[in-house]
Amino acid sequence: MEQLNKIEIRGYVGSITVHHMGERDMARFTVATSTAYKDKDGGAVIETCWHNVLAWSGKNIQELDKITKGGKIYVLGRLRNQKYTGLDGIERNTYDILASRLTLLDEGEPLQCEM
């Protein structure tokens, strides 16, 4: 059986930190994606989900300094789960998207997705 770990998101950049490490740059940022639907009473509901993204400069990822808070972005990558124990002794999980491709979207381009 073939295995697949692939994730694509389009959304708005939240916080961003870029670190310069020798010849490569590393960016850690968040992306907000929203889904709109109607609840059982017919009222509109907008559900926003925040994603953690980690990107290293390279062949498909360049100019990480151009990523700005509030900007529209497309991210292609894989999902990584990490377990850690907090200072309070409780074991927790965190999920990151390890980006393999980033595309900054034009401000005039609507942010829509097909279902």
Question: How far is residue 11's CA from residue 112's CA, in Å, rounded to a whole number?
Answer: 9
| 112 within some domain | no
Domain count, the chain: 1
| 77 within some domain | yes
pLDDT of residue 12: 96
Look up the domain containing 96 and give its range: 7-104
| 40 within some domain | yes
Q: Which among 72, 51, 80, 64 is positioned nearest to 17, based on CA atoms?
A: 64
| 2 within some domain | no
Q: For all residues of the chain together, what is the average pLDDT?
A: 89
Q: Is the pTM of this model over 0.95?
A: no
Kindly compute the dihedral angle of the four CA atoms of residues 3, 98, 8, 35, in this order, to the nearest 10 degrees.
120
| 114 within some domain | no
Answer whether 31's CB lies under 8 Å from 9's CB: yes
pLDDT band at 107 (very low <50, low <70, confident <90, very high): low
Retrieve residue 97's tokens: 């998207």
Higher-pLDDT residue of 112 and 11 is 11
Secondary structure of residue 65 in the 3-state scheme = helix
Domain containing 93 — which CATH number? 2.40.50.140
Q: Which among 70, 75, 71 is positioned nearest to 55, based on CA atoms?
A: 75
pLDDT tens, 71-93?
999 999 999 999 999 999 999 99
| 88 within some domain | yes
pLDDT of residue 109: 56
